């Protein structure tokens, strides 16, 4: 029998780990104690991580938060500088764990950015947001941009980008909403909001019938303003510069502010900002 098989993580061990944490012992000291009584480091670390994760989740749900669900997740466990987007080597510029935010470089070529803008331009209209009171759509003063949606897989360019994104964040293409293109002129902004649908709003159950909650967002910068227009995360005082070809990804495992994914598009001060947004759902989006 291997060491791992012989070292079973029993309910008693899990309870002991929770008791230690509640008594204020550090993860380091608990790990040391486990190893001193014969646990291998790998098993001890796994036991600690899974037990404390489970414990926090139980407490969160008991406090009335929606349960955590799986989310899209770029593979960054070994801190790679580059990720394989299939047909393109994407740069990892910045990563934050809480909130989960990753900034990518070189996600799109200049030609791809220009082509998306030119295909979108004749189809732009004042942006609407989903009306969570009714499940319909409405013009919203918090969002002063012009926009349009591509159908998923609408043309070869859109297909190529959707395939690349799916590979990058490990999430099925069919769980994505259609790509949305937005144009912001001087003064235009998108006030801070959450991208998930508020479970307390009456229209939300209708919205969730098409693919469940949103669990992740990729905002790709297609056209840069010369001043302003960053994507801001007020809870962590982060501002991502809207540099053409770059993108910001973020995920949220429950529809709750505890994800710290409040974010907005700061007003454009000079020039014009163009973005493509891909929202990712829990399940296939029809």
Q: How many CB atoms sit inside 10 A of residue 152's CB?
A: 18
Say if residues 175 and 281 touch (Cβ distance below 8 Å): yes
Among the listed ranges 62-70, 96-104, 154-162, 259-267, the one in contact with ligand PD2 (CB under 6 A) is 259-267
Q: How many CB atoms sit inside 10 A of residue 264's CB?
A: 17
Among the listed ranges 14-22, 58-66, 198-206, 260-268, the one in contact with ligand PD2 (CB under 6 A) is 260-268
Among the listed ranges 17-25, 39-47, 127-135, 262-270, the one in contact with ligand PD2 (CB under 6 A) is 262-270
Cα Rg of the chain (Å, integer): 22
* Cβ-proximal residues to 252 (8 Å cutoff; 6+ apart), any chain: 71, 99, 100, 194, 195, 196, 214, 215, 216, 259, 261
Tell me if 249 contacts ligand PD2 by CB under 6 A. no
Among the listed ranges 3-11, 107-115, 152-160, 191-199, the one in contact with Zn ion (CB under 5 A) is 191-199
Tell me if 190 contacts ligand PD2 by CB under 6 A. yes
Number of residues that bind Zn ion (CB under 5 A): 1
Tell me if 195 contacts ligand PD2 by CB under 6 A. yes
Out of 189, 195, 224, 253, name the contact with Zn ion by CB under 5 A: 195
Tell me if 213 contacts ligand PD2 by CB under 6 A. no
Lookup result for tokens 């960053």: 230
- Minimal CA–CA distance to 228: which of 182, 275, 187? 187
CB of 235 to ligand PD2, least distance (A): 14
Tell me if 264 contacts ligand PD2 by CB under 6 A. yes
Tell me if 162 contacts Zn ion by CB under 5 A. no
Binding site for ligand PD2 (CB under 6 A): 190, 195, 217, 219, 231, 263-265, 275, 277
């Amino acid at each position: 029998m291997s060491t791992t098989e012989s070292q079973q993580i029993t309910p008693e061990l899990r309870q002991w780990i929770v008791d230690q944490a509640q008594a204020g012992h550090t993860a380091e000291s608990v790990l040391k104690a486990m190893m001193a009584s014969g646990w291998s480091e790998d098993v001890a670390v796994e036991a600690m991580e899974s037990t404390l994760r489970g414990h926090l989740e139980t407490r969160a749900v008991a406090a009335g938060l929606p349960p955590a669900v799986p989310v899209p997740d770029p593979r960054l466990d070994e801190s790679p500088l580059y990720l394989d987007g299939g047909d393109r080597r994407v740069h990892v510029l910045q990563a934050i764990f809480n909130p989960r935010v990753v900034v990518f470089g070189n996600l799109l070529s200049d030609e791809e950015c220009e082509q998306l803008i030119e295909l979108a331009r004749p189809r732009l209209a004042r942006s609407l947001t989903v009306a969570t009171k009714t499940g319909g759509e409405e013009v919203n003063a918090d969002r002063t941009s012009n926009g349009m949606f591509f159908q998923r897989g609408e043309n070869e360019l859109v297909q190529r980008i959707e395939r690349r994104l799916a590979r990058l964040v490990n999430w099925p293409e069919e769980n994505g909403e259609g790509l949305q293109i937005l144009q912001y002129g001087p003064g235009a902004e998108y006030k801070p909001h959450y991208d998930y649908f508020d479970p307390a709003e009456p229209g939300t159950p209708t919205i969730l019938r098409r693919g469940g909650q949103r669990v992740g967002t990729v905002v790709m910068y297609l056209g840069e303003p010369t001043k302003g227009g960053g994507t801001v995360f007020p809870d962590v005082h982060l501002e991502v510069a809207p540099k053409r070809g770059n993108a910001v990804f973020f995920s949220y495992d429950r529809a709750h502010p505890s994800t710290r994914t409040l974010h907005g598009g700061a007003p454009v001060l000079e020039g014009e900002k163009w973005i493509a947004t891909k929202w990712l759902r829990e399940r296939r989006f029809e």
